[in-house]
Every structure is written in C-alpha cells, then in structure tokens.
Amino acid sequence: MKSDTFHMSLLFDYYGELLTEKQRELFDLYYNEDLSLAEIAEHAGISRQGVRDAIVRSESILRETEDRLGLVKKYGSYESKLEEIRQSAAYIAQVNASLRNFEIAKNVDRILKLTEEMN
Amino acid sequence: MKSDTFHMSLLFDYYGELLTEKQRELFDLYYNEDLSLAEIAEHAGISRQGVRDAIVRSESILRETEDRLGLVKKYGSYESKLEEIRQSAAYIAQVNASLRNFEIAKNVDRILKLTEEMN
C-alpha cells in the first residue's frame, strides 16, 4: 500500500500538525522510520489492520489538505532553488574577488543575506 | 472587532480553502472588500450577529491553523525577499554590462531565472 515516500514525507512536513498525535506517531514510523505495518502494530499494541486504517486516513487528510491549499506544490521546491541562488551568488562573489567591483560585492552580499533569512 | 486586516488577509490567502464556501464569502466581504457587518448581513440575508459569529469562527480556524502549521510565518515574507533578490541581481547585470564578465553574466541570469520560477 505504500505511497510515494518522498511526497508523503513532504506532505507530512507541511501539514502533519493537522493530524492527531497518534496519527502522527504511526505515520512517522511508517514513512520516516520505514517500519512495517506489523512492526508498528507490535510497537503500538494495536492490530495491523488498525495501523493500516490510521495511516490510510492520515494520507487522505494530508492529500486533501494539499488539494485545497496547494502549499507543497507552491513552496516544495523552494529550498533547492534557494540553494541554487546561494551557489550562483557565491560564485559571483568568487569571480568578483579579483575584479573588486564594489557595487557587485554589495549586491551579492545582499543576495546571500536574503537567502540566509529565507532558510 | 476587526483584527489586523493585512495579517487576516494573509492567513486567508494561505488557509482560506479550509473554510466552507459560506465562511469564505463572509470573510472576504469583511476583510477584503471592507464591508461592514450590517452591510454583509443585508447582502447575505442573515442577522448582523450571525455574520459576526461566522467571521469570528473563521478567524479562529485560520489562526489555529497557522499556530499549528506556521506556514505564513515561514513563507509570508518570501515574495518581498524574492523581489529584493531579483532587484539586486538586475543591478549586478547592469554593472556587468560594461565589465562584460561571462561568468558573472551566466550566474546572474541563473539567479534571475530561479526567482522567476519561484514567483
């Protein structure tokens, strides 16, 4: 039954706090800790079917929330893009170390500072 | 009773789709269209108190969602910061127009392209 783990973990990062503590715990063991349904059932002292139902329910809450809000779609790739901006700015700073252009140095610093604030 | 309009509109932008259609409509008239409770009551054909209750309830749903998820706190200032990055990069491009450094040009283009993708 396992859905795309990366996507599920991302949805969980954004919306996990909308789940109950118990739902979060089971979801986390399954998708982040990669335990099997049987292992989680033993750990939690409930049936394998109970674990499965809870996880399916959580998946559906997370998916419906994303269908409504779309914030993972909007912001999910921001971290990697911010990192690319940071790298490009650092490269410009490196090239400018020999050019010593003050305006470029100032604006590169500004970009680096902003990417840091956004992290 | 009106809460900080800017903050409320921002919460509504992020989480408004978690409200019912009716809640969204009343909230929008109050915070985005700036109608009074009495005007909304007349428009919607319900009592002024009914409008007030619905809006208070919506505010509380939006606030609680933000308390749990914190996505407005995390991403709310991204747009203005992205715009600052874009401006700094455009300025570097302008300075580099006379320097004609290929590596700087390439990396500035990369930054501008990324900020566009993130918009």
Tell me if A103 and B118 make a contact (CB, 8 A cut-off): no
**pTM confidence score:** 0.83
Does A13 score more than 90 pLDDT?
Answer: yes
* Mean local confidence (pLDDT), A11-33: 96
> How would residue B3 be classed by pLDDT, with cut points 50, 70 and 90?
confident
Alpha-carbon distance of B77 to B23, in angstroms, equals 26
Nearest residue of A to residue B104, measured between CA atoms = A92
- The architecture (CATH level 2) of A5-75 comes to Orthogonal Bundle (1.10)
Does B1 score more than 90 pLDDT?
Answer: no
Q: Which of B69, B73, B100, B119 should one mutate to test binding to chain A, selecting the residue with the greatest count of A CBs within 10 A?
A: B69
Tell me if B111 and A91 make a contact (CB, 8 A cut-off): no
Q: Is A17 helix (H, G, I), strand (E, B) or coil?
A: helix
> How would residue A2 be classed by pLDDT, with cut points 50, 70 and 90?
confident
* pLDDT tens-digit series, residues B10-65: 999 999 999 999 999 999 999 999 999 999 999 999 999 999 999 999 999 999 99
Using an 8 Å CB-CB cutoff, list chain A residues near B71: 14, 71, 75
Contact A85, B111 (CB under 8 A): yes
Does B119 score more than 90 pLDDT?
Answer: no
How remote is the C-alpha of B18 from its chain's centroid?
A: 15
Q: How many CB atoms lie within 10 A of CB A82?
A: 21
Element (H, E) at B105: helix B102-117
Query: What's the whole-number average pLDDT of chain A?
Result: 95
Who among B75, B85, B111 is closest to A75 (CB)?
A: B75
B interface residues, A as partner, C-beta within 8 Å: 14-15, 17-18, 65, 68-69, 71, 75, 78, 81, 84-85, 88-89, 91-92, 95-96, 99, 101, 103-104, 107-108, 110-111, 114-115, 117-118
Alpha-carbon distance of B108 to B104, in angstroms, equals 6
Alpha-carbon distance of A101 to B42, in angstroms, equals 63
Domain layout of chain A by residue ranges: 5-75, 78-117
Tell me if B111 and A111 make a contact (CB, 8 A cut-off): yes
* pLDDT tens-digit series, residues B68-107: 999 999 998 898 999 999 999 999 999 999 999 999 999 9
Who among A18, A85, A118 is closest to B111 (CB)?
A: A85
Helices B78-99, A78-99: crossing angle, 10 deg rounding: 30
Tell me if B99 and A99 make a contact (CB, 8 A cut-off): yes
* pLDDT tens-digit series, residues A44-101: 999 999 999 999 999 999 999 999 999 999 998 898 999 999 999 999 999 999 999 9
Nearest residue of A to residue B92, measured between CA atoms = A104
- The DSSP call for residue B30 is I
Q: What is the pLDDT of residue A119?
A: 83
